[in-house]
Amino acid sequence: MVAHFSFLSVFPLLLVFTTILGFVLENSPKLRDTIIDSAFSRIPIIGPELARDSTQLQGDAYVLVVGLVVSLWAGMKAFNMLQFALDDIADVPLDDRPNIVRSRLRSLLGIAIVGGGQVAAAVLTSFVGVTGVAILSRVALVLAAVLVNTAVLAASYRWLTVRPQSWRALAPGAIVAGLGFSVLQLVGTAFVGRAISRASSIYGTFATVIGLIAWLSLHAMVALLGAELNRALPMRRLRGDQASTT
């Protein structure tokens, strides 16, 4: 379900993301383009296609604002479902879960966390690129991607659940999932391309949809496995302490 709503949300959220950057960084077009390219490069197949016209947003300001608000509201569905999944993992009773208003506010926080991670990744990419050393740049970029992904996942685990944990308790799952995210980002294009090539003979142009949902589902699985790890480790230590006591 997280992958399903992520697929439905990716287009409106990218619309909001690029438009906000267009307003905020109007006087810094180079930085704006770098951040947008960094965001779209993480989406295999459709990313380059979307990036071509990402800044060509024109028309009436009122219509644009209304369209962005509607897109943002629709884009929250993925983060709503992520909250539900994380609360399931934490065994939070339904009565203790946030209402629709609080849930939407938490989703806005999730969007801000992910968007901030994209900006941080773009800034790190630009900084490392200044060195001019190819091998050093690639190694530093991989390490930076792991660091950013880990930080984004840790913040999501902490603030998108009703029962937040300490940063130390969240570290194992965030690190493991951050490494998994970085691997998926490196091999994502190849994976989706292979899935599309196998499915295109049967599903035709719909194979792109199948490949993208498969890619998103892997990200969702890795993120939730990290949350499961954070949930399982304390329980395992507790069982070990109880066994040693008896």
Task: Supply the pLDDT for residue 50.
Answer: 52
Task: Report the largest interatomic distance among the alpha carbons of the chain, rounded to a whole angstrom.
Answer: 72
**Residue 209 has which token pair?**
């949809």
Establish if 244 belongs to a structural domain: no
**How many other C-beta atoms lie within 10 A of the C-beta of residue 146?**
18
Task: Supply the pLDDT for residue 200.
Answer: 60
Establish if 139 belongs to a structural domain: yes
Establish if 192 belongs to a structural domain: yes
Burial 214-234 (b: 16+ CB within 10 A, else e): bbbbbbbebbbbbbebbbeee
Dist. CA 176–CA 222, nearest whole Å? 8
Establish if 157 belongs to a structural domain: yes
Structural domain total, the chain: 1
Establish if 240 belongs to a structural domain: no
Please report, in tens digits, the pLDDT of each residue of the chain (246 residues total).
Answer: 888 888 888 777 777 777 777 777 777 777 667 666 666 656 655 555 555 554 444 445 666 677 677 777 777 888 999 999 999 999 999 889 988 889 988 998 988 888 788 777 666 665 655 555 566 666 777 788 888 899 999 999 999 998 878 899 999 999 999 999 888 877 766 666 666 666 666 666 677 777 778 888 888 999 999 999 999 998 887 776 666 666
Task: Supply the pLDDT for residue 70.
Answer: 74
Establish if 49 belongs to a structural domain: yes
Task: Supply the pLDDT for residue 26.
Answer: 72
Say what the pTM is: 0.75
Establish if 70 belongs to a structural domain: yes
What is the distance, to the nearest Å, from the Cα of residue 147 to the centroid of all Cα atoms in its chain? 14
The DSSP-derived string for 108-152 is HHHHHHHHHHHHHHHHHHHHHHTT--HHHHHHHHHHHHHHHHHHH
Establish if 245 belongs to a structural domain: no
Range of the domain at 118: 2-234
